[in-house]
Structure 1
Amino acid sequence: MNLRKFNYAVLGGSVLLGIVSSANASGLVELSSFEGREGEPVFRAIDADARVVSGKGVTDGKKALRVDFKADKKTSVVEFKTDEVWNCKGLGAYHMQFEATNPGDRSINLQVSLRAGSGAGWNRAVSIPAKSSGSYYFELVGEGVSEDFGMRDDPPTMNIDATKMVSMGFKRKGDFTSVKQVRFFVRNNLFDKSLILDNIRFVSSPERDPNALLGFVDAFGQNASVDFEHKVQSEEHMKELADAELRALAVSAPMKDRSIWGGWKEGPKLEGTGFFRTEKVGGKWAIVDPEGYLFFSSGIANVRMANTSTFTGVDYRDDSVRYIDPEDVTPEDSQGIVAVPREIKEDDFVSNEMRRNLFTWLPDYDDKLAKHYSYRRKTHHGPVPHGQTFSFYQANLERRYGETYPNSFIAKWRDVTLDRMLDWGFTSFGNWAAAEFYHSKRFPYFANGWIIGEYATLSSGNDYWGAMPDPFDPEFARRARVTTETIAEEVLGSPWCIGVFIDNEMSWGNENSVRSRYALALDAISKAEAESPAKAAFMKTLKKKHRGIAKLNKAWGTEIASWGELAKGVPFQDSQLSDGMVEDLSVLMESYARQYFEVVSGALKDVLPNHMYLGPRLTTWGMTREVRKAAVDYVDVMGVNYYREDVGTADWGFLEEIDMPCLIGEFHMGSSDTGCPHPGIIHASDVKDRARMWTDYMKSVIDNPYLVGAHWFQYIDSPITGRAHDGENYNVGFVTQADVPYPNLVAAARKLHAELYQRKYGELKED
């Protein structure tokens, strides 16, 4: 049979993926759950194997599709695509639904991407538990589906006997009344995994519960309708849990194989310089602690109050609360809890009724817990541009530990947190530890800062966290100096500071296309020289190389009239990016990155000469060869944030090339069984699966000879109503919003850390 394309058919409110057969005399679309009465459904596997099977996993008819996802691939995919569209307009509000069976003994972090006929795209994800069968749905059209409520995703609002897939990234707007392509895929699996798919269909949605979001948060910041282990039931219960943990921590001690700095005192002792440094030993990179012992940084990031607040739906009329000092060195999402004068709070109003109605309780201004209100002057993303916030987490600390003097519960929290880190076997904090920890002299940490200010910028076209700085602008250099001097004042030369991160997850570009790889250089070229310091620097480079506009035109295949015309700014389309131009763009991009690292590292070396520089924490979506090539001459350790099941090899071929120590700045896994509407970036099936996945990831890092550490993001679950900065409401904490540790994660951490150094450097152990 000649299978030409997918099409659609409507029956009883559903559209099922089907095939059009030239042999089908009736000309009707055959409904298909991979039955293939006259042939198999059309699909395409990429770095995967897919075939129609019978038996286990079949939920409709006698056949289903088995997909074998391959390990250590950037993406392993099965794709369904039509020359026309699946027209779902007649369904009204609708969702895609399918059945999936996971016959293996490990969960599958499945993503589904959908491309609409309009060109709009959306990714959703779900964890398919090991040895399970279930039904899953992907919301597409309907009231509230694309509406931003200040959360990355919302709790289910429809009564459907299936598991909701959560949105990856922000919610998507666009015309999704027809569908052009559907892809099922995984990324960087640690192991080969198989999934059986059946009965893929588009289904009219039932009416949404209009009260689904009404009061779904209880007085402790927990999901009011979901029970889970160690959910806090009352203040008395909270104190009981705290007292039990405090008794256990009181008799705990650091692991016996650790130096005072957390290094491996049973291993070889190298030169101790009094500060942390790096060295390659026995073919493996290592951090070396101040006494000379080998050190591996296993840590937890974001141990602070700054990201614990969520918008309440209230704002103040007094504009003074929204003033931002242009000389401030702390970005909004790193601000702690900000006290607002009572007279300003009294003149409040409801700015977002939907947000206000999420909560069953918020304190009156006369309540002792009202001190945990704060204010956010601006946001990165969300429906609330600014407004009142509340930190359930900080309020719970006061409930948990009491208050014997002003903010004594914060001091108690710091002590308990340090006790936990040592008891759980971690060796350091990750990025964004509160500065209050810096001088405890109990636990190593990384200092951090941001270079913010009114300097010139460039765009990569994917400015997720904002436009990129123009490092050739003297104002950028001044602001770098201000930031690093502030960090130095916080650190005070402490040997407990391992190193410094500056900035985070910057949009350097990526290697998906020529345009995305050199977008920053192309943006600079499109600008006027008088308005862009980077453009002025690039003009000098191009003039020095080509020594005449004619030679540049010959190399680029262009017809630019003069250097003056180029200086005014010339935009280029993708079709104009010749090999000769790309060669120059690579040089310009490297010089841009080199200038950035030179400015930042130079400022750091001047004020913190004994502390390592770990860069801006690169990402797979925002990193190119030119950036790495520039960075290696300036950073002491290459920091990379990497959200996958494990590090594998697919994205890490550059390690052998650069041959320098690298550190994972962020990773996490979350689940939905503790009431958080969104698990996070990488999904586990439940709290036990989170612990297993943490262990697997850490082992893959420990076993890599170039990696010298990994930091889990983050210490505390996100507020379930979304952190004020951008709505993240992820189950990614080692502790809940009530400051209760997750026992499975704690047990996994203790077990792995007990054998950490033996596994990493065991062959180097001295007799």
Structure 2
Amino acid sequence: MNGCSSDKASEPKNIDKPSSSTPEYETLSVLTNFDDVHLDLSAENANFKVIEGKDGNELDIEFLNTARFSGVHLDFETPQDWTKYNEYHVALDVENTGDESIQLFLSINSAGSELHRHIAIPTGERMTIFAPVDGVFWNIGSGFRENPKPWSTDELMFILIYGNYFMSNDSVTRISLNTRTNMANKHLRVDNIRLRKNQEYDETFLHDFVDEYGQNANVDFPTKIHSMEEFRSVHDKEIAALDKSKPLPDRSRFGGWKDGPKLDATGFFRAEKVEGKWWMVDPEGYLFFSHGIANVRLANMFTVTGMDFKDDSIRYRDPEELTPEDSIGAIDIPEAVLATRYLASDVRRNMFNWLPEHDDPLGNHYSYRRSFHGGPLPHGETYSFYRANLERKFGETTKNSFLKDWQEKTLTRMLDWGFTSMGNWVDPAFYPNEQVPYFANGWIIGDFKEIKTGNEIWHAMPDVFDPEFERRADLTIAQIAKEIEGSPWCVGVFVDNEKTWGYRTGPVERRYFLSVAAMGMDAAESPAKAAFSEHLIGKYKTIDTMNERWGTTIESLDALKKGVTFSEYNAALEADLSDMLLMLSNRYFKVVHDALEKVLPNHLYMGVRMATWGMPQETIEAATTYTDVLSFNVYDEGLQPFDWEFLREVDLPAVIGEFHVGAISDNGLTHPGLVFASDQSDRARKYRVYMDSVSGHDNFVGAHWFQYIDSPLTGRAFDGESYNVGFVNTADVPYPEMINMAKDFNTSLYPERFNRPLTVPLEVNETEKATTEAVPN
């Protein structure tokens, strides 16, 4: 639909009137009120119409669940220059007319830059929501993913989802309102899209933001701890309930389905297809579905204090270390280093209304990070409020005895909540437990060569053809084997996480940037480039043949080895770039597989937990050759069949390595995470929808929630994640809505999945092939 063209400027319609909880705003510009549209409107996998509302026209949108992306684009007839304004935001009036919350994404495009934010809109009431565009207070170096609202208002604020806080705003061309991975159609009415002046704010709005328990000092909420007396009361009440708890009666010793079919007992976990459905099988032969919580550890519960040390010895890194920085737990800071302590960020330090001295009783919860992935400082002192709260809760009868108490309580919780296992990144201190199955994990880090592309999310891709990579893989997996000690309680092993392989769809530069980057390198310096060059020369023999096929003008084979770049990609070149990515992926998975086979032949290789932005077809193909179970981290509302049809084609089991849902309306946190709910009840509902979609898929044999504990309010030290993603908060208080929903799902997990009809019924001639087995490679 084309927007109506008119010389008459749009006028605001009864907007921005002050109330007891919302201040009066100055409207700088009404972009559209849908009476005089001044925009070109178009839909992408969505339906829309301009309708008559209570106060003039408004836009009615139906977001569809038939594609990953569903949205409406509002394109300006001429680019808008917003640089004439400062300290402003975009506001719009909305009404969710459906029966469940909407995670709405807002994207603003300007001169090649983009701003991306999201919000959870509850059902029912009409409301005004706003998205920061320009303001000093959003760029003060706080170091966590989203600052709180800097002025008092009940209006909901869009939260940063990815990308930058700001964009270049001199040539704004498009505003998009969209949803992602809807499990059901969503309905939204929109009106009065406008620019408003920010309210005056107090420059000290982050001062004393965090209380002594690591909670938001300025907000009250149901699970907040207000005193030590309340702390003890909440703890005692939970302990009394847990003391009466027993594992679910249909569970085997290892968490399998005791009331279901009994298959061969091999003494270790395996994966097997039974009557058309993939399952895991526990060591005793019972069907097993792995549902549990990932990241049950304390390493990520530290936050940056703003202090640092001048003594460089604290930043020494042993080149033979096997644990990456973000996975290291608490470290003791030597007295000589403490003597060089200094203030590195007053913004960070001023956030806390309490931090102990290093020699105080709770001073043992300080630690240090030698580097951060992102944040206000390159390195610095950290503190764990969660760890301190554990000591407050359990006391300390011997050094760090509270850690043992926490581990025991955590295992009891997992069984009480009905989980069958723990997920990835469980602290190795849990490995000896014989109550809850777990997955071991490790990282391949070291001084091997890399393929740097500029597209890295976490780290550059290792050059897997470098012999040093293979050596480091052997060391890492030998350490995992030492920690596991052959235990049958270890289901399998995850190695590495969310590597930047390339995108599954899109142009060549998005799918094959690893191959393109390697081709630009010198074969004398890059083992991957040397391997690719050898492959290409063996295939084409001469540079003339290669140029003819690729449509290129490379001078010689020596020039090819030195490094080449491409401006265009024909079908032959694209096919070769695909082959190179497959070679790289095959090499990676083979190295890891072979290292595991040498020392852990009885445990499942669970793969690399591919993210949705890093799971190209070539890498999946390689994983199917060498892993026992495919693994994916999927932060969506649920699994849509159109995204996972390939699993039926490869006919292998898969597990979700990470998913979560968060909210911010009732917990004091400032960022929900990657999937946004309106409150804790909605969060629990979305968790259930997700898990029903996983258990309802014939190929998936498990899903692991990320994570056990909320991120620190001021962001985890590694990268500032400050998400409501825990089953418990920073005071170790469980969210009752989540616990109750988990219990409800887990109680009926096995019979419901077993008795559910196949998504794709078995053909008559396939019935005899209904049971196949996948034992560890």
The normalised TM-score by structure 2 is: 0.93
Match of 2:546 among 552, 560, 572: 552
Match of 1:661 among 633, 653, 661: 653
- Whole-Å Cα distance in 1 between the matches of residues 128 and 659 of structure 2? 28
In 1, are the aligned partners of 2:294 and 2:707 still within 8 Å (CA)? yes
CA distances 1:393-412 after superposition (whole Å, capped 9, x unpaired): 00000001111111111000
- Whole-Å Cα distance in 2 between the matches of residues 479 and 83 of structure 1? 56
- Whole-Å Cα distance in 1 between the matches of residues 298 and 8 of structure 2? 51
Task: Determine helix, strand or coil for the equivalent of 1:633.
Answer: helix
In 1, are the aligned partners of 2:38 and 2:76 still within 8 Å (CA)? no
Task: Determine helix, strand or coil for the equivalent of 2:126.
Answer: strand
- Matched with 2:723 is 730
Q: Does 1:361 align with 2:376?
A: no
What is the percent sequence identity of the aligned residues?
Answer: 45
- Whole-Å Cα distance in 2 between the matches of residues 702 and 290 of structure 1? 21
Give 1:280-429 correspondences, 5 Å limit.
280-429=273-422
- Matched with 2:439 is 446
Match of 1:760 among 734, 753, 766: 753
In 1, are the aligned partners of 2:696 and 2:753 still within 8 Å (CA)? yes
In 2, are the aligned partners of 1:14 and 1:91 still within 8 Å (CA)? no
Task: Determine helix, strand or coil for the equivalent of 1:417.
Answer: helix
Residues 8, 310 of structure 1: CA spacing in aligned structure 2 closer, same or farther, 3 A cutoff? farther
- Matched with 1:153 is 146
- Whole-Å Cα distance in 2 between the matches of residues 277 and 631 of structure 1? 17
- Matched with 1:233 is 226
In 1, are the aligned partners of 2:10 and 2:30 still within 8 Å (CA)? no
The alpha carbon displacement at 1:549 in A equals 1.4
Query: Match for 1:605: what amino acid?
Result: E
Residues 272, 598 of structure 1: CA spacing in aligned structure 2 closer, same or farther, 3 A cutoff? same
- Matched with 1:513 is 507
Query: Match for 1:525: what amino acid?
Result: M
Q: Does 1:585 align with 2:577?
A: yes
Residues 757, 507 of structure 1: CA spacing in aligned structure 2 closer, same or farther, 3 A cutoff? same
In 2, are the aligned partners of 1:16 and 1:33 still within 8 Å (CA)? no
- Whole-Å Cα distance in 2 between the matches of residues 83 and 594 of structure 1? 49
- Whole-Å Cα distance in 2 between the matches of residues 170 and 763 of structure 1? 41
The alpha carbon displacement at 1:7 in A equals 10
Give 1:51-450 correspondences, 5 Å limit.
51-55=49-53, 58=54, 61-116=55-110, 118-169=111-162, 171-450=164-443
Query: Match for 2:444: what amino acid?
Result: I
The alpha carbon displacement at 1:650 in A equals 3.5
- Whole-Å Cα distance in 2 between the matches of residues 175 and 8 of structure 1? 28
Q: Does 1:632 align with 2:624?
A: yes
The alpha carbon displacement at 1:346 in A equals 3.3
Residues 331, 101 of structure 1: CA spacing in aligned structure 2 closer, same or farther, 3 A cutoff? same
In 2, are the aligned partners of 1:13 and 1:91 still within 8 Å (CA)? no
The alpha carbon displacement at 1:762 in A equals 2.7
CA distances 1:421-456 after superposition (whole Å, capped 9, x unpaired): 000000111110000100111110000001001111
In 2, are the aligned partners of 1:152 and 1:170 still within 8 Å (CA)? no
The alpha carbon displacement at 1:266 in A equals 0.5
Task: Determine helix, strand or coil for the equivalent of 1:267.
Answer: coil
Match of 2:27 among 14, 18, 43: 14
Match of 2:489 among 490, 496, 507: 496
The alpha carbon displacement at 1:635 in A equals 0.6
Query: Match for 2:244: what amino acid?
Result: V
CA distances 1:166-204 after superposition (whole Å, capped 9, x unpaired): 101254344224422110000010111100011111112
- Whole-Å Cα distance in 2 between the matches of residues 446 and 400 of structure 1? 28
In 2, are the aligned partners of 1:9 and 1:15 still within 8 Å (CA)? no
Query: Match for 1:625: what amino acid?
Result: Q
- Matched with 2:771 is none
- Whole-Å Cα distance in 2 between the matches of residues 177 and 763 of structure 1? 55
Q: Does 1:44 align with 2:45?
A: no
The alpha carbon displacement at 1:587 in A equals 1.0
The alpha carbon displacement at 1:702 in A equals 0.5
Give 1:596-745 correspondences, 5 Å limit.
596-672=588-664, 673-745=666-738
- Whole-Å Cα distance in 2 between the matches of residues 484 and 346 of structure 1? 39
Query: Match for 1:423: what amino acid?
Result: D
In 2, are the aligned partners of 1:297 and 1:710 still within 8 Å (CA)? yes
- Whole-Å Cα distance in 1 between the matches of residues 709 and 426 of structure 2? 12
The normalised TM-score by structure 1 is: 0.94
- Whole-Å Cα distance in 1 between the matches of residues 10 and 205 of structure 2? 30
Task: Determine helix, strand or coil for the equivalent of 1:600.
Answer: helix
In 2, are the aligned partners of 1:7 and 1:84 still within 8 Å (CA)? no
The alpha carbon displacement at 1:132 in A equals 2.6
The alpha carbon displacement at 1:10 in A equals 9.2
CA distances 1:461-487 after superposition (whole Å, capped 9, x unpaired): 320101101110000000000110011
Q: Does 1:34 align with 2:47?
A: no
In 2, are the aligned partners of 1:310 and 1:390 still within 8 Å (CA)? yes
Structure 1 stretches of at least 4 aligned residues deviating more than 4 Å after TM superposition: 1-13, 15-18
The alpha carbon displacement at 1:392 in A equals 0.1
Consecutive unaligned residues of structure 1, counting only runs of 5 or more, are 19-31
CA distances 1:673-710 after superposition (whole Å, capped 9, x unpaired): 20111011110000111111111110110100011111
Q: Superposition RMSD on alpha carbons, in Å?
A: 1.8
- Whole-Å Cα distance in 2 between the matches of residues 77 and 195 of structure 1? 11
- Whole-Å Cα distance in 2 between the matches of residues 451 and 700 of structure 1? 32
Task: Determine helix, strand or coil for the equivalent of 1:185.
Answer: strand
Query: Match for 2:622: what amino acid?
Result: A
- Whole-Å Cα distance in 2 between the matches of residues 95 and 642 of structure 1? 31
- Whole-Å Cα distance in 2 between the matches of residues 148 and 7 of structure 1? 43
In 2, are the aligned partners of 1:6 and 1:83 still within 8 Å (CA)? no
- Whole-Å Cα distance in 2 between the matches of residues 203 and 764 of structure 1? 53
Task: Determine helix, strand or coil for the equivalent of 2:661.
Answer: coil
- Whole-Å Cα distance in 1 between the matches of residues 52 and 333 of structure 2? 65
Give 1:519-530 correspondences, 5 Å limit.
519-530=513-524
In 2, are the aligned partners of 1:96 and 1:201 still within 8 Å (CA)? yes
CA distances 1:218-258 after superposition (whole Å, capped 9, x unpaired): 00000011111121111121111111111111111100000
- Whole-Å Cα distance in 1 between the matches of residues 359 and 704 of structure 2? 40
CA distances 1:498-548 after superposition (whole Å, capped 9, x unpaired): 111111100000122111111111111111110000011011111111122
- Whole-Å Cα distance in 2 between the matches of residues 556 and 760 of structure 1? 50
Consecutive unaligned residues of structure 2, counting only runs of 5 or more, are 12-24, 759-777
Query: Match for 2:576: what amino acid?
Result: D
CA distances 1:72-94 after superposition (whole Å, capped 9, x unpaired): 42100100112422222222211
CA distances 1:269-311 after superposition (whole Å, capped 9, x unpaired): 1111100000000110000000110000101010001000000
Task: Determine helix, strand or coil for the equivalent of 1:406.
Answer: coil
In 2, are the aligned partners of 1:6 and 1:81 still within 8 Å (CA)? no
